[in-house]
Structure 1
Amino acid sequence: MAERARGVAAADVLDEVRRRAAEGDGRTGAEAIVAVVREHGAVLGREDLASLVRTVRAEVEGAGPLQPLLELPGVTDVLVNGPDAVWVDRGRGLERADVDLGDAAAVRALAVRLAAAGGQRLDDAAPVADARLPDGTRLHAVLPPVSPGGALLSLRVLRRTAFPLADLVADGTVATAVEPVLRALVARRANVLVSGATGTGKTTLLASLLSLVPHDERVVVIEEVGELAPDHPHVVRLTARRANVEGAGEVDLVALVRHALRMRPDRIVLGEARGAELREVLTALNTGHEGGWATLHANAAREVPARLEALGALAGMAPEAVAAQALGAVHAVVHLRRDDGRRRVAELGVVERAHDQRHPGTVGGVGLRVVPALLVSADGGVTTGPGWALLEERCGLRGWAG
């Protein structure tokens, strides 16, 4: 009887909370939900009431039946391929989750509701949405006919606290011998690119390193979607805004980088370089703005020059201009890999001009190459590469003891 009463109350309470929200009363806190329960005359025990509150809040302001997965410790991604095909990533690769979302119509309804919560339209006329939910979770949703098999959802969890660098060393993401070098790059105000494939932990590492920036410095972070959460008292955040349904109101990353330069930054950080904003960042780092950081998608450190060329082309830059700007702006590259589900810093390198375009370290004909300075094996062993002396000289690391 208690189970039945709780189920009836959940449906009734959920409908009532949604009705009130539609009428302008958007309260979804525990007290408001308890009040609705009492108005319906339901008698529930403490545990049943707490469970009901969690259920209703997850349906109204969270991800519904997916919310418990998003709240699991260590979860970075929740993927929905169908009503009974839900996957999670807890840092060990994808695992099947024991969640049944009902039927295809229920998955579609969930996708539409989540997109609306992120301020985006998702329907037959606009079957793809990329949004940020109120709690910061990133949502990507696709509807048929773009996804013939049914609605698809991809949710990326935003971690609101940065891991201390020591924690990344303890879990093997950062080798013990590499830690003092990373600390030195921050302390010596080096300009650094953090590269890696999707899901390798670039944002996690960058947040940890930005937490080491002296607290009397002003850090301006520019992102397409707010993800970086360094433990630092003076972080100013700028996030891009998409155009509305009428095509107006867009504020892109190029504009945000330009505005950031007028905000008296001590450090400029670009969450991810993925377009023409690279030109603005390289220009800034070449004109006295030290200690800048950015992340970049690349499958290997040696492919960073090709990525720089491709992104520079989006800004109308010739390869020669990219090479000239990057040589003056980028002091080091920190590359991450993912092996058997485990994320780790695999290489530190330096950018230098490649005089011979046939050099095996040159990719894309940019006139640049990334020379390995430190190479990290899967078991944490560290060896120096041909670029170590240059990294020592360029970043003032000689004799650095951490």
Structure 2
Amino acid sequence: MSKHDTLRFRSTRPARALAEAVGLAGARTGSQASASDCRCEPTFDERTLYVDAADCSGDLRDSNECRRTVVETLADRDAESIVVRSNGLEYRYPARGVDVLAAAGRFVELLGARDERLAEAAAEDPLAVAAELDGRADETADIGVESGLCRASSGVESYEDVLTPLVGLPIAHYFVDRSVDDSARLRDIRTLETGTTARIYERDDAVALYELELVDLSLGVKTATLLDGYEAIADGDVDGDRAPSRAIESVSDGPVDPRLTNILEKHTSGYGVLEDLFADSRVTDVYATSPVSQNPIRVVVDGESMATNVRLTTGGSRALASRVRRTSGRPFSRATPTVDATAALENGADVRIAGITDPVTDGIAFAFRKQADETFTLPALVENGTMSASVAAFLSVAVERSAATLIAGTRGAGKTTLLGTLLYELTPETRTVVIEDTPELPVDRLQTVGRDVQALRTGLGDGPEITPVEALRTALRLGDGALVVGEIRGEEAQVLYEAMRVGANANAVLGTIHGDSGAAVYERVVSDLGIQPSSFSATDLVVTVQSYRTDAGRKRRLAAIEEIVGSGDDVRFEPLYELADERAVSTGRIERGESRLVERLTGPAESYADLRNMIESRTQQLTELAADGRTSPRETATVYAGRPLV
């Protein structure tokens, strides 16, 4: 990582260094002489008052002396935010507390020499002075109103109410609220592999709280070593693949604490606090809503939306935007205010990123989604209860026999997971072309188990990308075989269905589409995407998946398999499998010999009964694989290699 790239993730330095770097060395205001017991050093950076408390308490909630330094500084100049730096951490005070201290500064300035006792008291204890002014009707009371002190202090019972700060690590671009309401009830606690602790609290008046106790903030005196290591990378003294560990070694006097290396790696080559959030296997989505400094990060945990105790800084959102541009190669700016990309986290998890920025929103916002686990196979889905072995066996035979299949579901239902799983059911000799705008399907893993898979990436940006329509036409020229479309959602549907209708692709056609039933898919394809009903009838199957809530959390399941019968305007959906209680079961249509698809999938020398026997044989095979735990791609591919085709 270059120094330039690293600096995108840097926070401001301690106040004295910051002043020297931006020419504010002489900008210090306020009177330390009148607060001789306080050694805080205040400086301004635009509308933010930074307080260097390296040699002092810096606690504006409990220290009258430090509070006096800040109020006297604010007597000369207003601030919109206050950040205290102490022991390597940053403490950002809430807006209500800033209002009280700023109003106290104005009161001290307006009062002047009229009442020195009250002016000194207001600098150290503005709440007590506001209480003293209550009920008075004189010039001093008028100044209390004019300065805003009476208004800002109204209803505030203690400094704890308004001066309990958020805490952050300067290099991390976030602030954490360490306070939890007394009425909150602890539901769950777990320690993540990053060393951070995650707690979930139930709250009566709000959504559940997902509270992080970040390992970053627990280093004590070792925080200085971490920051020195960061400086070593930022200044170019250390670089290369092992830069974090070598940077910590270069600034350490004794043995290296591995926590420091891991944290430094997270905030230089990694994705910061996202590494902690996605270290929890239950977290599927993370949202940073603009303006990010005013909204807590939100997460989806086992399907339940929760607020966290973490807020990104504005600089943090810019740093993330920079990293997304650099790792994806895609533009993201006012000229191109949306981005769709993927990222690989330090723990190996893949995350899909959707970002928006000005002018379509106020600032920068992101949605991060953990991508489908590419290790899923049909035996694995049988093992985890997503579907029964008999359902899996039918899908295996249908895909192998080139059934044109659409996988439907709502957002987060598991469409891409199932699509990636079914690609393992194509025979090793089948040439497969996969079309996606954002890579999510397990192309690399399929290739490692002997599948002939060619990925084709599409896009609608300003770079050298091809449109979905162009990609589809190209795919039809890349070899006769299976065609896979990551998501059918636009004009590419016309080309796809035309190819299916005229028989340009005689092998399997697979894709995902938004919808919660066959009828919903028909409405989407025909009414929204403009496909003729006669073309839609080239579809063989609609497989619907669902996400649903259980006592153990959010789960996924196959809900229905419907075959398409009829042609032209007379298109009907006949259920082959549908939900009964919590699992999809056979409707008996196949067993009674009524499935037109099963009849159509039989070979020249086969009967309907032969195909039924094949489904039954695969049911037994998948049951055994799931029971034995042989569910990895390589294990299943080995077993599949010995399958008879008839």
Structure-1-length-normalised TM-score: 0.80
Q: How does 1:273-292 map to 2 (within 5 A)?
A: 273-285=488-500, 286-292=503-509
Identify unmatched segments of 5+ residues in structure 2: 1-86, 88-217, 603-610, 619-646
Offset, 1:208: 1.2
One of 537, 552, 561 as aligned partner of 1:348:
561
Q: Which amino acid aligns with 2:353?
A: L
- Corresponding residue for residue 119 of structure 1: 329
Any idea what the Cα deviations from partners look like across 1:351-397, whole Å, max 9, x if unmatched? Answer: 23477xxxxxxxxxx65343322212342251417696223223344
One of 57, 61, 69 as aligned partner of 2:265:
57
Any idea what the Cα deviations from partners look like across 1:98-150, whole Å, max 9, x if unmatched? Answer: 552354x25533442343233344455654333333565221123466445x6
Secondary structure of 2:537 counterpart: helix
Q: How does 1:2-401 map to 2 (within 5 A)?
A: 3-18=219-234, 20=236, 27=240, 29=241, 31-39=242-250, 41-43=251-253, 45-46=255-256, 48=257, 50-73=258-281, 75-81=283-289, 82=292, 85-90=296-301, 92-96=302-306, 98-103=308-313, 105-117=314-326, 118-123=328-333, 126-133=336-343, 136-143=350-357, 146-147=360-361, 151-159=364-372, 161-229=374-442, 231-232=445-446, 233=450, 234-244=452-462, 249-285=464-500, 286-310=503-527, 312-313=529-530, 319=531, 322-328=532-538, 330-340=539-549, 341-353=554-566, 368-380=571-583, 382-384=585-587, 389-396=595-602, 397-399=611-613, 400-401=615-616
Q: Which amino acid aligns with 2:516?
A: N
**Residues 242 and 251 of structure 1 are in contact (CA less than 8 Å); yes or no, is this contact kept in structure 2?**
yes
Any idea what the Cα deviations from partners look like across 1:62-113, whole Å, max 9, x if unmatched? Answer: 32111122233354322234556333335x313536552354x255334423
**Residues 476 and 505 of structure 2 are in contact (CA less than 8 Å); yes or no, is this contact kept in structure 1?**
no
**Residues 77 and 88 of structure 1 are in contact (CA less than 8 Å); yes or no, is this contact kept in structure 2?**
yes
Any idea what the Cα deviations from partners look like across 1:279-301, whole Å, max 9, x if unmatched? Answer: 22223333243112111111322
- CA-atom RMSD in angstroms: 3.1
Secondary structure of 1:236 counterpart: strand
Any idea what the Cα deviations from partners look like across 1:194-225, whole Å, max 9, x if unmatched? Answer: 11111100111111111122223222111011
Offset, 1:18: 4.4
Offset, 1:333: 1.0
Offset, 1:5: 4.9
* Structure label with greater radius of gyration: 2
Q: Which amino acid aligns with 2:599?
A: E
Offset, 1:252: 1.4
Residues 1:259 and 1:169: Cα distance change in structure 2 (over 3 Å):
same
CA distance in 2, matches of 1:255, 1:44: 60
CA distance in 2, matches of 1:164, 1:222: 20
CA distance in 2, matches of 1:102, 1:155: 14
Identify unmatched segments of 5+ residues in structure 1: 314-318, 356-365
Structure-2-length-normalised TM-score: 0.52
Offset, 1:242: 4.0
Offset, 1:324: 2.1
CA distance in 2, matches of 1:19, 1:278: 52
Q: % of aligned pairs identical?
A: 24
- Corresponding residue for residue 358 of structure 1: none
Stretch of structure 1 that moved more, 258-267 or 386-395: 386-395
CA distance in 1, matches of 2:595, 2:372: 36
CA distance in 1, matches of 2:336, 2:219: 40
**Residues 128 and 141 of structure 1 are in contact (CA less than 8 Å); yes or no, is this contact kept in structure 2?**
yes
Residues 1:96 and 1:131: Cα distance change in structure 2 (over 3 Å):
same
CA distance in 2, matches of 1:289, 1:326: 16
Secondary structure of 1:101 counterpart: strand
Stretch of structure 1 that moved more, 195-204 or 293-302: 293-302
Offset, 1:190: 1.3
Secondary structure of 1:211 counterpart: helix
Q: Which has the higher contact order (CA 8 A, sep 6+)?
A: 1
CA distance in 2, matches of 1:394, 1:367: 19
Q: Which amino acid aligns with 1:88?
A: V
Any idea what the Cα deviations from partners look like across 1:300-358, whole Å, max 9, x if unmatched? Answer: 22111111124543xxxxx5xx2222223x11111112222321111111223477xxx
CA distance in 2, matches of 1:252, 1:261: 14
CA distance in 2, matches of 1:44, 1:297: 57
**Residues 195 and 297 of structure 1 are in contact (CA less than 8 Å); yes or no, is this contact kept in structure 2?**
yes
Q: Which amino acid aligns with 1:260?
A: A
Stretch of structure 1 that moved more, 256-265 or 271-280: 256-265
